[in-house]
Homo-oligomer: A and B are copies of this chain.
Amino acid sequence: MSKQNSREMDFSAWYNDIVLRAELADYAPVKGCMIIRPYGYGIWENIQSILDKMIKSVGVKNAYFPLFIPESFIHKEAEHLTGFSPELAVVTYGGGKELEEKLVVRPTSETIINAMFSKWIQSFRDLPLLINQWANIVRWEMRTRLFLRTTEFLWQEGHTAHADHTEAQEMTLRILSIYEDFMQSVLAIPIIYGRKSEAQRFPGALETYTIEAMMGDKKSLQAGTSHDLGQNFAKPFDITYQTKKNKLEYVWQTSWGVSTRLIGAIVMVHGDDIGLVLPPMIAPIQVVLIPIWKGDEKEKVLQAIHSLEGKFVSNGIYANLPIRFHTDTREEFTPGYKFNEWEMKGVPLRVEIGPRDLKNSTVTIARRDGGERIIVKEGKALEVVISTLEAIQGSLFDKAKRFMEDNTYVVDDWKEFKDKKGFILSHWCGEAKCEEDIQKKTNMTIRCIPINGNVEKGKCILCGKESKMRVVFAKAY
């Protein structure tokens, strides 16, 4: 295998190397697009299946809306149009003819979904209406990075309508807390959350909430957002309902989403110079079994492996699901070569059975995250595998959390502010002009404004005017 770029020396080259070498994704022949290869898609399938259950647990149902949006729809909400128009892909020909109305390939589905909500919602009995869709999205991007920023990507987008603003606000925050829980307990990625500043808000939202995660290079990745749309779409799309008292009112709405970008986050948070490191809960393969033999030991070693496989199949449950294991019986590669390959692919656990194990009725277990190899009695193997998967999941989170905390700073001095890398908690006057100047001078943006942050008087890190609260600055993807 070719030499891997070092994470420390060139984070960006290291990231691309891993994504390509672990066969998570590949560049497409179409500029800015990517192919999600089976190993990367396997991670996405695990993300989908867990997150989908969490979203459905609050009463949301899945549906599917069209890919194409009539151009006029995008014009209905002025801010929304301004926000998205430079990113649109437009279909002008269909069925061999030039179209009368151009069709926009969805950059997000607020407009088309709200056109339907206006038809479906008549009375208070139709509320709340809680819809989600898993779909592909197109936003024309100039500078692309596999998973992080591509012209086409996959995501889920939730869209809800409620009878009053309080209920919509609660929904926005309930989803934010589902995202927080999912990131931390499933992807083992610690996050911070809060409101976006006006400049960073979703086009058309009253308020955008975000979860932000610190990557291995100390930059922030916006991992998911949840928007309180107020009545900004309800009014232009005329989504009204009859109240119990027979009055006609506009609904209150939310929208929220996470995307295949999360796969990039997993790489950048947990990966190391050897390659990927996958949290067990979303690893396509959680355990790789490797038989090791010379000459005539083959039969017996394979027999021991098959007996272990049998135990995995009948009793191997981790995180309420059957353990996903794979046995690597290829004869054209040495065990050493296989170790390297599966380590590069980030498989959490390796179980070896070799001649010495045979003699002692043991198996050898190696953790991808720590590298330690332990030898356990064959009868204890499954139990140890399960508890070790649990331990790895927890330990990846703890390590990432420590890293985030070690690189979070409270800063009141401009020089220090300019030089620090990580999450910088500093005072900001609240003016968009200052926010813009700070970005120009430091390349840092306000990642989030804590929702229930401690009121603390201070002075804006740039202009020195009064401020009531610290916000989180960082360089971002």
Contacts and interface: CB of A to CB of B under 8 A. Distances in A.
Contact of A93 (B64, B92, B116): B92
A119 B26 contact: yes
Interface in A1-55: 26, 28-30, 33-38, 41-42, 44-45
B30 A69 contact: yes
A73 interface: yes
A28 B91 contact: no
Nearest to A93: B90
A364 to B, nearest CB: 27
A458 interface: no
Given A90-B91, A93-B90, A96-B86, A67 B116 contact: no
A243 B369 CA distance: 38
A34 B42 CA distance: 29
Interface in A133-168: 135-136, 138, 140-142, 151-152, 154
A87 B94 CA distance: 7
A302 interface: no
A56 to B, nearest CB: 10
A73 B85 CA distance: 28
A81 interface: no
A26 B64 contact: no
Nearest to A138: B67
B112 A28 contact: yes
Interface residues of A, number: 57
A82 interface: no
Contact of A92 (B66, B92, B151): B92
A65 B37 CA distance: 8
A64 B29 contact: no
Given A37-B63, A64-B154, A152-B67, A29 B94 contact: no
B29 A41 contact: no
A121 to B, nearest CB: 13
A66 B28 contact: yes
Contact of A41 (B63, B93, B95): B63
Given A89-B93, A90-B93, 15 more contacts: A28-B112, A28-B116, A30-B69, A30-B70, A34-B66, A35-B64, A35-B66, A38-B131, A41-B61, A41-B63, A45-B62, A67-B136, A86-B96, A89-B91, A94-B140
7 contacts: A28-B66, A29-B73, A30-B66, A68-B152, A90-B91, A90-B92, A105-B105
Interface of A: 26, 28-30, 33-38, 41-42, 44-45, 61-70, 73, 85-96, 102-103, 105, 112, 115-116, 119-120, 125, 131, 135-136, 138, 140-142, 151-152, 154, 332
